Amino acid sequence: MNDVTSSGNPAATLQLLWREHLPPDSSPRRGPRRGLEFNTIVEAATSLADEHGLTALTMRRLAERLNIRPMSLYTYIPGRAELLDMILDDAYLKMPRPPFETAPWQVRVRAVAASNFDLYKRHSWAAHLSTLRPPLGPGQMAKYEYELSAFDGSGLGDLATDDALTFLLSFVRNAARDIHSARDTSRAGGTDQEWWDEAGPLLAHNVNDKSYPLASRVGSAAGAAHGSAHDPHHAYAFGLQQTIRALELLATDGPTGD
């Protein structure tokens, strides 16, 4: 299942996302009063995705969790596509946004990275939901506004700031995916150390310092340092440091990208 945001009906999606900001007489649906609040539906859908992943998030399973008939759920939400936008935008809306105050822009950018990393820790499904066409709800807009402000004082122009933010968030998201994958692999098939204990002796005959001198030397050093061929947590820390350095170099070039 290829899960992407903003793949439903645009008008219906935007009405649902901005429902609390609409005039009282502009409800997207009219008719008899319904028994559920939208927030109750969003919270139940989020819990279902948190517990079992996006593949488990279907209209039928959500209806079962809410103890209503599946067809009743469609009187609130047109379908699963709109539901995905709602739970992601709600997750964005609930992200903490403490004042940056006088911290240097590099410190603020690190805080943005940490905030998104924490989001993916709470809601691992969010890292696997394609947002090339983002949900343009209040959560997305508040998140974008806040994170752009982290670059105030960097000297970057508007387009370069947008590029820099996209670059940062893409890195964090990919790192989070790797960490989730490592966790799932460990649960399914044991630890990396257990895997290497079994595979290592079998590989030693063909993969050695004579046939692959660089790979053997560097790989052994990395494995000894991290206890694995790949440590996603170390990769995140190292990658974030290099990402900040790259953005500093970009900033020293002046207000580029406009």
What local confidence, expressed as pLDDT, does residue 257 receive? Answer: 46
Question: Picking from 32-46, 56-70, 202-216, which range would have the lowest pLDDT averaged per residue?
Answer: 202-216
In the chain, list all ranges with CATH 1.10.10.60: 10-93
User: pLDDT grade, residue 162 (50/70/90)?
Assistant: very high
**Identity of the highest mean pLDDT range in 159-163, 215-219, 230-234:** 159-163
Task: Write down the mean pLDDT value for the chain.
Answer: 86
DSSP label of 130: B
Percent of the chain's residues with pLDDT above 70: 82
CA 16 to CA 88: how far, in whole Å? 13
Residue with tokens 């001198």: 213
Residues 111/100, Cβ–Cβ less than 8 Å: yes
Residue 225 identity (one-letter amino acid): A
Q: What is the pLDDT of residue 228?
A: 63
Q: pLDDT category, 27, cuts 50, 70, 90?
A: very low
The yes/no answer on whether domain 105-252 falls in CATH 1.10.357.10 is yes
Q: State how far the alpha carbon of 124 is from the alpha carbons of 89, 136, 175, 247, in Å.
A: 15, 21, 12, 27
Helix and strand tally (H, E) in the chain? 11, 0
What is the C-alpha separation between 7 and 125, in angstroms, rounded? 17
pLDDT for res 221: 76
In CATH, 10-93 is 3.60.10.10: no
pLDDT of residue 150: 98
- Rg of the chain in Å (alpha carbons): 23
pTM of the model: 0.84
Closest CA to 45 of 158, 123, 120: 123
pLDDT for res 216: 73
Q: CA nearest 150: which of 210, 104, 202?
A: 104
| 181 compared with 123, residue with greater pLDDT | 123
Domain with CATH 1.10.357.10 in the chain: 105-252
Q: Which amino acid is at 52?
A: H
